[in-house]
Amino acid sequence: MRGGYNVPVAGAPLCEVRELPAPDRLYLPLVSRRFRFSDVRVGEGQRVARGELLAVDPERFSIPLLAPCGGTVRLGELEGHVVLDDLDASSDPWAPSGSTSDEPGADPGGGPAAGPAGESVAHGLLALGAWPYLSDARTGDPVDPAKSPSAIIASTLRLEPFLAGGEAQLDGALERLARGLEYLRGLAPEAPLYVIIPDTDEPLAAEIRTAAAGCSGAHVVSVPMRFPFDDPALLARYLKLPSGPDTTAWAIPAEGVLAVEAALTHGRPCTDRVVSFAGPAVTEPVHFRLVPGYPIEAILADRLCREPARVVNGGLLTGVALPPEQHGIDSECTGLTVVGELTRQTLLSFARPGISRRSYSRSFVGTLRTDMSMRYKAGLSGEVRPCIACGQCVDVCPAGILPQLIHRHLYAGRLEEAQRMRVDLCVGCVLCSFVCPSKIDLRTELLEAKRELREEAEAVRAEAEAAAAEAAEAAAAKARADEAEAASTEGKPAPPEDATAAEAAP
């Protein structure tokens, strides 16, 4: 594995996981990073229980949006949200449903410890909200519950600042991790299972290795703690997994393995998440255990040290600015990163030695301070300039491509040349944009080129399939005509014109 870079940034959260008080209302967004829950299955004023179906994404295998706790549905109060009011006060929304025992099979309604492999188990995971944790390793798209994978990649790493990784998810849950890995083996017995662990000497890493090694048939793979070596697409290439339109490798994070375990052991719906709340503008960066729909305003209240601030849904590098119309945590959120807004320009900053600044190119005096982390703000602190061919983007690129040369081809409109330079291998880690001294948004350019190439390939494939179907129909029609002509020549009754009628005839 090559390239990569760990960004020295202030605001990392503590490893401990805290809980916030139960809110008065929940605001569940109908849109998340990958899903659009457009098919709402509840009505105004309806009373729902925890784990009950609220909406589904009809375009992506009917992925469900589940009620995090009991409450009364309000549909017209906030556009784009399902609001739950009058929350069930008889039970803690964070308390696990079903059995509280960690022993497999403790809940009679749950799945067995070694549940039957196949489509029925997959649909059970779908109904309980655990299936969305599985994704295509190369594209990040949701996977089809009816299809088996060529391999499974279960990663205990999350290296982007400041997303909740294995250190926050797995503390005290290693037995559950081992059971979850066994369940994944049962889902696809023929597919190799790769368990990705950090290559460190930390005690938790050793415990994770021991727990993963206890899973029969699992291959434990150690990966350097350098961003973005936890990326599933990079791991699939590193493991030399087969690729193709009909081949899919599953990727699942640590919390997804735990969700699978909870669903199949206790029949427990996946309605809570560990969410990091961190960044340079946060007074006390920490992890919270939250449910989807938890009010964002309640999370931010009295916890910011710098305002105005920008809230990012996701990590510092690949997250997106939280839209002002979103009022609650969405069903895929793994972290909220908060950085201060840039409110004023610094006079003659280029002429200063940069005692409090660092850069990949080591061009500031602050680079000599190895203990210093940057307090980044939401601004470029400058302007976009032409590419100077410094090669820094090539140094950090984990995919082994040449972003600066691909940028030149894309700038000139030469998409085919960019494809010859394997722009399709870009994993969108944003390191090329981060280290670029000219502040060129290389990541957006490369991902847009990948999208155009994918759409062109899909159009060509659809055209080829249509031509093949048309040719097959023409061949069948000719065969029927030849048969009818032969029958008329021999004085026999001609077969029916319609192929369906011909098959139904005695």
pLDDT digits (tens, 9 = 90+) for 175-216: 999 999 999 998 999 999 999 999 988 888 889 889 888 888
- 113-271 folds as Rossmann fold (3.40.50)
CATH 2.40.50, applies to 23-93: yes
> Model's pTM, two decimal places?
0.86
Cα 330–Cα 148–Cα 265 angle in degrees, nearest 5 = 60
DSSP track, 355-421: TT---TT--SGGGG-TT--B--EES-SS---------HHHHH-TT---HHHHHHHHHTT-HHHHHHT
Predicted confidence band at 346 (pLDDT cuts at 50, 70, 90)? low
- pLDDT tens-digit profile of 133-175? 999 999 999 999 989 999 999 999 999 999 988 888 888 889 9
Amino acid identity, residue 112? P
Domain ranges of the chain: 1-20+272-382, 23-93, 113-271, 463-504
- pLDDT tens-digit profile of 439-452? 999 999 999 999 99
Mean pLDDT over each residue of the chain, to the nearest integer = 86
Spatial separation of the C-alpha atoms in residues 224 and 229, rounded to whole Å: 7
- pLDDT tens-digit profile of 233-275? 999 999 999 887 788 999 999 999 999 999 999 888 988 999 9
- pLDDT tens-digit profile of 283-310? 999 999 999 999 999 999 999 988 899 9
Q: How far is CA 383 from CA 312, 345, 441, in A?
A: 22, 12, 12
